[in-house]
């Protein structure tokens, strides 16, 4: 199966971001992708953290969800919808949710980001908990012949989440992200390749990548990593489509020659 990571440089206009996402999905479909994934916050990177509250949608309806469903159905492929803000338990908070739509346009899975990012190096300060509610459960789904595990950005630093997704083992782990330039430069590829190697599966990592209208700079480097930790394709910066073939035989080969998953004791 051909899979695609869609890299964006999302701005402050939701509708313009949706059009950009729609175009990238169409481009990937034209290149024979059967499963595509958008980055975290593909629909909006606002000037303020709470800008996302104004575009939050109830689960099951809204312009962001309609675009994802329509694109999946129009192109007959699986769409992992990066993340979008879904209504939380109060007006001051939302869930940062990853929704997956099948080739028929129906929603097949929802995962709410479990680990909320906070960072302070004396110059840069950020805390997702001010506007986000954390999810509380890992989510995997069957996408055709593939078992796909869902995660979001900061989740990448918590290997126990991925271990929970490997019962039974996934063929593909998806990590829609908006890594900061500072942390991405040091840790992004390192962590992605580690997750691929320790779980012996493919990793699909679509990211935000560039200088945004709000002044934020994201690391980009959307990539696809194989079960041996090899980077198959990467887009360093700017909008783009990253494509690679997911080969089930390659997963089987790696798990047979080095059966680490079978050797687990905890």
CATH of the domain at 153: 3.60.110.10
pLDDT at 118: 85
The range of the structural domain enclosing residue 221 comes to 2-263
Percentage of the chain modeled with pLDDT above 90? 93
Q: Are strands 172-174 and 146-150 parallel, antiparallel or unpaired?
A: parallel
- CA distances to 11, 128, 215, 222, 226 from 230, rounded to whole Å, are 32, 31, 33, 14, 5
Helical residues (DSSP H) of 54-104, grouped into ranges: 63-75
Would you place residue 127 in the very low, low, confident or very high pLDDT band (cuts 50, 70, 90)?
confident
pLDDT at 192: 99
Q: Is the pLDDT of residue 132 over 80?
A: yes
| Domain tally, the chain | 1
pLDDT at 129: 87
Kindly report the length of the chain. Answer: 266
Q: Is the pLDDT of residue 183 over 90?
A: yes
pTM of the model: 0.96
Q: Residues 78-125: pLDDT tens digits?
A: 999 999 999 999 999 999 999 999 999 999 999 999 999 887 777 777
Which are the catalytic amino acids?
40, 113, 153
Contact 240, 233 (CB under 8 A): no
């Amino acid at each position: 199966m051909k899979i695609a990571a869609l890299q964006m440089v999302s701005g402050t206009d939701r509708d313009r971001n949706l059009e950009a996402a729609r175009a990238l999905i169409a481009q990937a479909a034209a290149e024979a992708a059967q499963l595509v994934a958008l980055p975290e916050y593909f629909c909006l990177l606002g000037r303020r953290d709470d800008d996302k509250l104004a575009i939050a949608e109830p689960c099951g309806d809204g312009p962001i969800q309609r675009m994802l469903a329509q694109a999946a159905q129009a192109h007959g492929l699986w769409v992992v919808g990066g993340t979008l803000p879904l209504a939380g338990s109060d007006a001051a908070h939302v869930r940062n949710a990853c929704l997956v739509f099948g080739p028929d346009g129906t929603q097949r899975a929802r995962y709410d980001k479990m680990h909320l990012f906070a960072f302070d190096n004396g110059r840069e300060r950020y805390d997702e908990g001010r506007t986000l509610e954390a999810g509380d459960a890992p989510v995997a789904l069957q996408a055709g012949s593939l078992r796909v595990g869902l995660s979001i950005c900061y989740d990448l630093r918590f290997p126990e989440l991925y271990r929970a997704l490997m019962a039974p083992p996934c063929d593909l782990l998806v990590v829609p992200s908006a890594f900061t330039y500072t942390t991405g430069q040091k840790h992004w590829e390192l962590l992605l390749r580690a997750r691929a190697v320790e779980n012996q599966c493919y990793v699909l990592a679509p990211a935000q990548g560039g200088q945004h209208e709000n002044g934020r700079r994201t690391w980009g480097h959307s990539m696809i990593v194989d079960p041996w930790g090899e980077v198959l394709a990467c887009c360093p910066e700017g909008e783009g489509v990253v494509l690679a073939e997911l080969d089930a035989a390659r997963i089987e080969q790696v798990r047979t020659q080095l059966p680490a998953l079978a050797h687990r004791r905890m």
